[in-house]
């Protein structure tokens, strides 16, 4: 058991991800390109022209005999198949995601991005304590049609309509959770392995000038660029990368300076590259 516990805390130092997507991005174009990554994917033999696929599992039940649009709240087919988003729907979603990033960010971790924040209701004028950023963006983009609460559904036990208790817990539809409803989890399914709340590789540019001691006129000027990467190792490598914060406090160097940085590349720049 002790060996398993050790493996669970130190395996991250052996992993890296090239080209991860930073969820603190406020670029709508970047979000659109990222969310459209499953555009026109052939899923279970079905082509999805001009739509991005957000399936919850590798195999989902599809039975055309049920009939009806899975996006319609009271359709029996809402419990079949999988959800897709058109480019227009993705545009609407990314606009609301960027609004949430600006409202809630910067996100210090993926937990901070995914989960709602423990904000007292009296201080929560923006509803950030009710739902996470993605779920809030989905609702604001109106991607899930609301079912009239006065209607009953053949899919609901004893044909019962939504109750006040359901509404108090955020159930806005008779089929919340059905495959026809796009959720935060559906969005995270394809994008989860590629998102990050920070970057560990940085491009740093600097300039230096020489001025005439009398006139102050610039005599010479140079520009340089360095690619710097943060490594798992601490500055003082006597402590392993998975050292806990409480243990880190015993080492003033690591507690103050943290992880080691490595200069991956360095080059001088021409003026026309600036």
Give a yes or no: residue 39 inside a domain.
yes
103 and 22 in one domain?
Answer: yes
Other residues' Cβ atoms within 10 Å of the Cβ of residue 83 = 25
Answer yes or no: is pLDDT of 195 > 70: yes
Portion of the chain with pLDDT greater than 90, in percent: 35
192 and 206 in one domain?
Answer: no
Which is more confident, 48 or 267?
Answer: 267
pLDDT for 102: 94
Question: Which of 88-102, 118-132, 168-182, 194-208 shows the lowest mean pLDDT across its residues?
Answer: 168-182
Torsion, CA 185, CA 186, CA 192, CA 198, rounded to 10: -70
63 and 36 in one domain?
Answer: yes
Question: Which of 66-70, 175-179, 235-239 shows the lowest mean pLDDT across its residues?
Answer: 66-70
187 and 211 in one domain?
Answer: no
Of 170, 196, 222, the last residue of a domain is 196
49 and 163 in one domain?
Answer: yes
Portion of the chain with pLDDT greater than 70, in percent: 75
Which of 65, 69, 35, 28 is CA-nearest to residue 52? 35
What's the Cα-to-Cα distance from 217 to each of 209, 211, 214, rounded to whole Å?
A: 10, 5, 8
Of 148, 178, 196, the last residue of a domain is 196
- Cβ atoms of 259 and 231 within 8 Å: the answer is yes
pLDDT tens-digit profile of 112-135?
999 988 877 677 777 777 888 999
Look up the domain containing 112 and give its range: 18-196
Tokens of 85: 């988003």
Question: Which of 29-33, 113-117, 178-182, 219-223 shows the lowest mean pLDDT across its residues?
Answer: 178-182
Give a yes or no: residue 5 inside a domain.
no
Of 196, 220, 249, the last residue of a domain is 196
265 and 131 in one domain?
Answer: no
214 and 146 in one domain?
Answer: no
Give a yes or no: residue 40 inside a domain.
yes
208 and 163 in one domain?
Answer: no
Give a yes or no: residue 64 inside a domain.
yes
Distance CA 115, CA 106 (A): 14
Give a yes or no: residue 215 inside a domain.
yes
98 and 143 in one domain?
Answer: yes
208 and 169 in one domain?
Answer: no
pTM of the model: 0.69
What beta strand segments (E) does the chain contain?
A: 21-22, 51-54, 83-86, 195-196, 201-211, 218-234, 259-269
Answer yes or no: is pLDDT of 259 > 50: yes
Give a yes or no: residue 10 inside a domain.
no
84 and 174 in one domain?
Answer: yes
Which is more confident, 103 or 165?
Answer: 103
pLDDT for 244: 86
- DSSP H stretches of helix in 170-251: 184-191, 245-248
pLDDT for 153: 41
Answer yes or no: is pLDDT of 260 > 70: yes
**For the chain, what is the domain count?**
2
């Amino acid at each position: 058991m002790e060996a398993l516990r050790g493996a669970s805390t130190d395996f991250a130092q052996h992993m890296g991800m090239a080209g991860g997507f930073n969820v603190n991005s406020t670029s709508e174009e970047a979000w659109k390109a990222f969310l459209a990554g499953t555009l026109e994917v052939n899923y279970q033999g079905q082509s999805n022209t001009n739509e991005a696929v957000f399936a919850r599992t590798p195999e989902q039940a599809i039975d055309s005999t049920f009939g009806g649009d899975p996006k319609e709240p009271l359709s029996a087919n809402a419990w079949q198949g999988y959800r897709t988003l058109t480019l227009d729907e993705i545009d609407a979603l990314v606009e609301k995601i960027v609004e949430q990033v600006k409202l809630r960010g910067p996100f210090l971790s993926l937990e901070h991005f995914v989960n709602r924040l423990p904000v007292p209701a009296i201080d929560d004028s923006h509803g950030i304590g009710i739902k996470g950023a993605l779920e809030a963006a989905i609702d604001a983009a109106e991607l899930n049609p609301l079912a009239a609460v006065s209607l009953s559904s053949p899919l609901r036990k004893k044909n019962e309509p939504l109750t006040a208790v359901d509404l108090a817990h955020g159930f806005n539809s008779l089929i919340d959770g059905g495959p026809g409803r796009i959720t935060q989890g559906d969005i995270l399914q394809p994008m989860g392995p590629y998102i990050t709340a920070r970057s560990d590789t940085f491009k740093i540019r600097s300039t230096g000038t020489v001025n005439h001691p009398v006139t102050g006129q610039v005599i010479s000027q140079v520009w340089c660029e360095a690619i710097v990467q943060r490594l798992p190792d601490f500055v003082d490598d006597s402590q392993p990368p998975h050292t806990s914060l409480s243990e880190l406090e015993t080492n003033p160097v690591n507690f103050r300076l943290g992880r080691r940085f490595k200069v991956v590349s360095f080059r001088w720049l021409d003026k026309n590259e600036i």
